[in-house]
């Protein structure tokens, strides 16, 4: 066997291994939750842009007008505090907080609450399970429901009162 054949064999094995890994990556990408996550991120970015413009072009000027009547600057975006000769711009920060709060409120009321209500509607209700233990009337230890003698105080126990199963009516 020549060196060329050995290199070709290594190349073929590497190609097959690489394609196998790409197949696994393709399965991962095409799973439903990954695609849903990607769509959610794109829609979230677009929605954030809309809310950002609402805050920048409508709410901040409105806040500036309201504060201008109280003697503050009318352009709220450029509002700042002067401390030791340094300007601390707080208008943009307040705008970012407003953007965050509006985005969180809209997502909560238009996404989280409806999805939770939908899940609650289609999730089957679980019936409470019958108890499997009871207390010993003498030493108050927790013992199995069907026990006839307490494992802790060895007292003879009265028969347990097991809840009766209701037969289904036909």
Burial grade of 165 (CB within 10 A; 0-12, 13-18, 19 or more): exposed
Is the confidence at residue 2, as pLDDT, over 80?
Answer: no
Q: Are 90 and 80 in contact (CB under 8 A)?
A: yes
What pLDDT sits at residue 142? 93
Helix (H, G, I), strand (E, B) or coil at 149: strand
Q: Give me the torsion for CA of 95, 98, 103, 104, rounded to 10°.
A: 140
Compute the mean pLDDT over every residue in the chain, rounded to the nearest whole number: 79
Say which residue the tokens 């097991």 belong to.
162
Is the confidence at residue 4, as pLDDT, over 50?
Answer: yes
Is the confidence at residue 118, as pLDDT, over 80?
Answer: yes
Mean pLDDT across 6-20: 68
Is the confidence at residue 67, as pLDDT, over 90?
Answer: no
What pLDDT sits at residue 153? 92
Residue 106 CB partners (closer than 8 Å, separation 6+): 47, 51
Task: Write out the DSSP string of 43-87.
Answer: HHHHHHHHHHHHIIIIIHHHHHHHHHTTTS-S-GGG-EEEETTEE
CA distances (Å), 148 to each of 70, 131, 137, 153, in order? 81, 16, 12, 12
Q: Are 103 and 51 in contact (CB under 8 A)?
A: yes
Mean pLDDT across 91-102: 85
Alpha helices by DSSP H, listed for the chain, are 3-30, 32-54, 60-68, 91-107, 113-122
Band of pLDDT at residue 169, cut at 50, 70 and 90: very low
Q: Are 78 and 67 in contact (CB under 8 A)?
A: no
What pLDDT sits at residue 20? 65
Q: Which residue has the higher pLDDT, 135 or 63?
A: 135
Band of pLDDT at residue 94, cut at 50, 70 and 90: confident
Between 61-65, 135-139, 153-157, the lowest mean confidence (pLDDT) is in 61-65
């Amino acid at each position: 066997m020549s060196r060329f054949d050995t290199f070709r064999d290594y190349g073929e094995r590497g190609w097959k291994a690489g394609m196998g890994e790409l197949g696994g990556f393709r399965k991962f990408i095409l799973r439903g939750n990954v695609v849903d996550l990607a769509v959610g991120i794109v829609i979230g970015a677009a929605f954030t842009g809309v809310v950002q413009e609402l805050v920048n072009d409508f709410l901040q000027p409105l806040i500036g007008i309201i504060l201008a009547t109280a003697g503050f600057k009318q352009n709220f975006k450029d509002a700042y505090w002067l401390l030791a000769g340094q300007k601390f711009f707080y208008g943009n920060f307040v705008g970012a907080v407003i953007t965050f709060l509006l985005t969180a409120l809209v997502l909560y009321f238009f996404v989280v609450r409806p999805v939770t209500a939908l899940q609650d509607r289609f999730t089957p209700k679980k019936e409470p399970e019958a108890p499997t233990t009871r207390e010993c009337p003498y030493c108050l230890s927790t013992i199995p429901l069907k026990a006839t003698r307490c494992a802790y105080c060895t007292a003879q126990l009265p028969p347990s009162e097991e809840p009766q199963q209701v037969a289904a009516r036909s």
